[in-house]
Amino acid sequence: MITEVEASRQYYMSINTIKSWVRRYAGSTFFAKKNDNMNTKIICEDDIVIKLEKALHEAQLKISSLETLIDLTEQEYKFDIRNKFGGGQLK
């Protein structure tokens, strides 16, 4: 993070402009402190992991329910729904 004076020099803007931006946008995430940004990143990564784990669990449940549906259908109609490996295409 740079100081207001450093930002003024680096971006060729007056110190008053930089100060007014800081006052105006002090609560925004753009001007958040480094620690806040790091905490936010950790929280965001944790949220992503939680969402991915939930999606994985839902996909596993879907696969399980579809396999059960296929099993029941094969038993009921005595018809092999699953293709056998190397069996070729059905005609």
Task: Give pLDDT tens digits for 42-53.
Answer: 667 777 888 889
The residue ranking higher by pLDDT, 86 or 59, is 59
Tokens matching residue 54: 């939930």
Residue 49 DSSP SS3:
helix
pTM assigned to the model? 0.45
Least confident residue range of 36-40, 61-65, 66-70? 36-40
Spatial separation of the C-alpha atoms in residues 27 and 63, rounded to whole Å: 46
Instruction: Tell the residue number behind the tokens 């038993």, with chain if given.
Output: 75
3-9 long-range contacts (CB < 8 A, ≥24 apart) are none
